[in-house]
Structure 1
Amino acid sequence: MPPMPGVRKQGRAQQADLDTVSGACATLLASLPRADQRRKGETYVRGLLSTPGRKTMRNLAAITDEPAAAQSLHHFISCSTWDWLAVRSSLAGQLNRLLSPRAWVVQSMLVPKTGQHSVGVERRYVPALGETVNSQQSYGLWLASEAAAAPVNWHLSIGKAWLQKNRTKAHATIPTGESGTTSDEAAVQAALKAAAWGLELRPIVMDARYSALHPLVEAFTAAGLPFLLRVSGSCTLLAAGVNQSDHRVVAASAEDLLGLARAQRRPVEWIDPTSPGARRTSLVAPLQVYWPSLPESRPQGSYTQVPTGSARNASLGLPLTLLGKWQTYERGVRQMWLTNITDAGYGPLLRLSKLIHRVDTDFSNISLNVGMQDFEGRSYAGWHRHVTLASVAHALQLLRGRCP
């Protein structure tokens, strides 16, 4: 095929790569209503894939021979009208077929900022860092398998204070229905919107140690979604009949409850996603617990068959499994996971939890290189369109590496 208009001539290998990108963009950007929008979208994706360093509009435009390309791309991202959700839905459908994901991993993306002008930027305390950081926070929904992971949806956390201060500014382009989103609500919305696209459901896996657990458990339960959430040791749960001689109902921290289940530990082998082929072994023990504020509920699909115990146990609340992970040389529990996938073996659950490492690895090796964090504009719509096309670029870079 001839080179795309406005693009510099390519060598044979480069032309073959251009053809691959063009074919993928023709599919993924088909929802864009105008031909010039689809052309600019392809140019933007190619720039994300090929431009070294930060993906500024000027650097992205440098791959073309058009004098006004930077201004044109800026308008396409920040001021145009195309629907980013339609592109994400198409991307999710394609990757669901190509990657055969085992889980949907919900992952936070924190971007430190020096100024206050970018959409959603405010000072927030970051427990993982132990300090307050001027930053922008969003959550991505990733399709993940042991071999690869790719983001398909994003939700930006916008505090009510920032919203009240900036809604009247035209550059923010905040939708009229947006009333402020906490980080936990952003995580939930990233998953719920993807679930509405008709994909085959997969367990939602998330590190929720620093999140408000109640909104996550209650939202995913209400939506009928299977989940596996990493929790902190201080999370309080109910347990009945922790050992054979004591059938009292106990309200205790996750760490203390798993201490009582220590004798049930069994070794489980798993493959480390960060070191292909490397096999590890951990000690794992499950414990049936209850979430007291919710009635018994069945997630959609075939992931969970909620046990029907005695009436006394059913009245405790939502039956869940608390999974503990120990290293073979340590006495204390290393990780604690809470799930409504109560009919799964603890081996499969442990392996699902490891997909967070797969996402971390591919985010570092691919997403950062295609400019996922590089948007510097002030537009809400611009941020969403940028991370959408960066997700397309991530997918193309990922599939490049998987193809011979």
Structure 2
Amino acid sequence: MAWNIGANDVANAMGTSVGSGALTIRQAVLTAAVLEFSGALLMGTHVTSTMQNGILVANVFQGKETLLFAGLLSSLAAAGTWLQVASYFGWPVSTTHCIIGSMVGFGLVYGGPGAVFWSSLARVTSSWVISPLMGAMVSFLVYKFIRRFVYSAPNPGQAAATAAPMAVFVGVTGISFAAFPLSKVFPLALAQAVASGAVGAFLVDRIIRKQLGHLLVKASSAQSEPKENATHSKNIGLLSDFAGPKGTQLEIVYGVFGYMQILSACFMSFAHGGNDVSNAIGPLAAALSILHGGASGAEIVIPVDVLAWGGFGIVAGLMMWGYRVIATIGKKITELTPTRGFAAEFAAASVVLVASKLGLPISATHTLVGAVMGVGFARGLNSVRAETVREIVVSWAVTIPVGAIFAVFYTWILTKLLSYIL
């Protein structure tokens, strides 16, 4: 299951970076490998507790631990099977949909309606609708902000270099506060997060100005030229998002946001690892507790090595098959540039990270697709390829029932085998 999460879902983190040209496929795979594993290991427990205790009512299976054990393993196998098929064809389906659909299918058939936490399920399913809307809204606003304060600025290149550290400050502060709070006291934790954000912003500012220093000097000297040339430079900034490379200004903007998109891809990759490792580890942790004689419904301690195996599986799937779905996310929804890709990734990562902190297993796929669409809508409705979006939405709808059917079938086989062995 974790292998297929890596093969299918990690495109959510790196697809836009590859599509815009900010990263090569090899660079994306290596970068995601480190960040996905770190997110799974450091943040995986938040959502995993929801996945292991918040979907099925374990008490319904009191005295039927073998059946519950078989159902949990079958749910993992069912979700993994469908993801294997989807990854092969390059379909970006929701791993969260798949595992929850599998568990609910098993629960309904073998435990009845009372075996499912319907209130918890409603909370989860509502997030599937909310997350793409939030992703689209945030990415729309971020991209509009870039167009207003960067492309429309008198010196777009200088404006991009100024805006980048601000975005890093917001992102690093958010990650530090949500994922690595150094204190349990709110004011102190916030102060430490702000300090981390300030350090990150300073470092990025130094890197950008060092790497693009000669271009920034060239752009600044252009501002001292006659007014008509300055006006022309401004027009280049306004039109550059719709056209090919036009001079130093666009070169700086794309250079700055190329760096920024790499950072946002890391942000998204870390957040994804923390959220979606639960799709593999939650049912597994519950199954392991049954093997060790854990009481039904009791709090389950998730071993660090189990989280590590989940992270390792995600990395393995990413490195072997991740390129298939990355092509769909990065190239087939809308045309991406470094600025558009940054807006989509930054928005999606923010939504996913907040959801991970709240223990809400949202679909990273829904969030990113919504964010990419939001960037497209900011440029006009015709900028989004409706056919591709329609195919993706259909694959989402099919995922839940397919997972449920596979889970019921695998549970039937596994219970027969276990009864024969035992």
Quickly name the TM-score band, shorter chain normalised.
under 0.3
Between 1 and 2, higher relative CO (CA 8 Å, sep ≥ 6) is seen in: 2
Higher helix share: 2
- Which is strand-richer, 1 or 2? 1
TM-score normalised to structure 2 length: 0.23
